[in-house]
Amino acid sequence: MKLYNFTLAPNGRRVKIFLKFKNKEIPEQEINVREGEQFKEPFKSMNPFNCVPFLQLDDNTIISESISICRYLEEEHFPEPTLFGSTAKMRAYIDMWNRRLELDGYSPLGNAIRNKSSFFVNRVLAGTRNDIKQMPEIVERGVQMIELLFQRIDHHLEKNKFICGEQFTIADITGYSIFKSCELLKFEIPKTLSNTIRWRDTLYKQDCFDV
């Protein structure tokens, strides 16, 4: 198998963090997304969504979506230490938290960044090159959503070191990506949400994020 990646992009980093946590390496090829290589062959035929990362299996099946790639790598190749959970109940619980963090935080923040930064003019939607315009309202909504998410999780984090408890999971990797997106947007976590800030500081000390 071979991983096609752009390590500077947040989703590319999620797979790198996963591998660092597992202390594993797999064959990799960087695709220079800034130069638009993902729109050229052979890449555009491999992944018509024109996004990275994607994983090519030995039978040439392409798996894109960073979480789906990590799910596959854990299940098929690198089961321990688990990041997705070792029982059906824990897998569902971790999946729930990862979804909440993605749908209510990481994804709206990603949309906010793409609608704000001059870097993303003419590529507001991931994997496109067109004239869809940046909308400041989507930046505003992203900030509203992350404020709500942090309010919702702060009490839960009072009794939990990581988002799913004592165990570091794939949802913490999503959490880390949220905090890095907040930095990019210069969004400051309200000081009253002390458990959320403690979670961020705990995450920032983990070795696996040094990729």
CA separation for the pair 127, 106 (Å, rounded): 17
Give least dist CB 177 to a second copy, A: 14
Task: Compare residues 8 and 135 and give the one whose CB is closer to a second copy.
Answer: 135
Give least dist CB 43 to a second copy, A: 15
Residue type present at position 211? V
Residues lying near a second copy in the complex (CB under 8 A): 48-49, 57, 61, 63-65, 67-69, 71-72, 75-76, 88-89, 91-93, 95-96, 99-100, 102-103, 107, 125, 128, 132, 135, 137-138, 140-141, 144-145, 148, 152, 155-156
Task: Compare residues 26 and 103 and give the one whose CB is closer to a second copy.
Answer: 103
Task: Compare residues 34 and 77 and give the one whose CB is closer to a second copy.
Answer: 77
